[in-house]
Amino acid sequence: MPVGTLANVKTVTPQQLAQTNAEMVLANTYHLHLQPGEDLVAEAGGLHKFMGWSGPMLTDSGGFQVFSLSKIRTITEDGVTFKSPRDGRMIHIRPETSIQIQNDLGADVIMAFDECPPYPCGYDAVKASTDRTLRWLQRCIEAHQRQDQALFGIVQGGVYPDLRRQAALDLAKLDLPGYAIGGVSVGEPPALIEKIVQATAPCLPENKPRYLMGVGTYKEMAQAIAAGVDLFDCVIPTRLARHGAALVAGDRWNLKNQRFRRDHSPLDDTCPCYTCQNFTRAYICHLIHSKEMLAFTLLSIHNITELIRFTQRIRAAIVADTFTTEFAHWLTPNSPEASPSHISP
């Protein structure tokens, strides 16, 4: 799912986004609450009409901002109080508040409000946070008012497999429409992300969507899919584009590099995207050095298409029962940057 934090995927139009074969888009509850406000979005007919996207949409809950804005927030059992980075006012978000905002925004899938602990974080602190996330989930379920929106719960538990497994089993008992694995990619090594997913995903129902939040590299996605994950979101394709980088066949290319200055071939001659069908590496290199915004649009279109093609190839390989052989390169374990003692209580 491409990330459209403020009801737009950066530098691309909804029409361009649809042409990448993106099937679902993510937006951010916290940031849309600050600007323009869920009341205005509801007045416009909901997120789909507001941003001109007719496909499925997901809104996160604001729980990630509990982690990312730790310097300007305080947590209590009731909820989280943030100091607005826009105007300094204090904003209190309870689980019920997050659900009300998301009900007003009108996405198809909404996320429960959770506490995302940082890395590193001690076992006792993570356990307390994980227990609170479960209590908040129960409040979210009670507050949820729209039957046309699917409410997903989020598994937390830091890097501790026993906490992850228990949280997953607790959530599974609630029989929600779908489940997410949160609190990864918050600073921990890739080897720990792999262990977290392998410990968590098998504990979630097989007949419900499993969503790994904030992950979007080739290797991490392939390994998570092998563990049973279905959905991903990440800012990687558009963020790399804004830094002049392209994703090509599993590599990252810096199009600022002078080696592309006279290269008149497409980024990837196997790619069907608008960028590869119409423009060359030399042209994109020229746009970047000329500081033209079109460079970021063309690279975003390609990068989004590339990651979606990657997952489409995996889907086809699963159907053909060739996944483990075709994608063996991406399924090799990450180097163990932490011993098991680092992820067990």
Per-residue b or e along 332-343, where b marks 16 or more CB atoms closer than 10 Å to that residue's CB:
eeeeeeeeeebb
Among candidates 13, 3, 5, which has minimal Cα distance to 298? 13
The Cα 330–Cα 243 span in angstroms is 25
Alpha helices per DSSP H over the chain: 14-19, 29-34, 38-43, 47-51, 63-68, 95-105, 123-143, 161-172, 190-200, 218-227, 236-242, 274-278, 281-289, 294-319, 323-326, 328-331
Q: Based on the residue annotation, tell me whether 321 is a catalytic residue of this protein.
A: no
The Cα 150–Cα 153 span in angstroms is 10
3-state DSSP assignment of residue 282 = helix
Element containing residue 231 per DSSP (H, E): strand 231-232
Among candidates 250, 305, 251, 236, which has minimal Cα distance to 275? 305
Q: Which of 60, 104, 114, 268 is catalytic?
A: 60
Q: Which residue has the tokens 């590099």?
A: 257
Q: Based on the residue annotation, tell me whether 124 is a catalytic residue of this protein.
A: no
In the DSSP assignment, the letter for residue 213 is T
Q: Which of 104, 114, 233, 268 is catalytic?
A: 233
CB 211 within 8 A of CB 231: yes
The Cα 112–Cα 109 span in angstroms is 10
3-state DSSP assignment of residue 209 = coil
Among candidates 123, 183, 194, which has minimal Cα distance to 156? 183
Give the active site residues: 60, 233
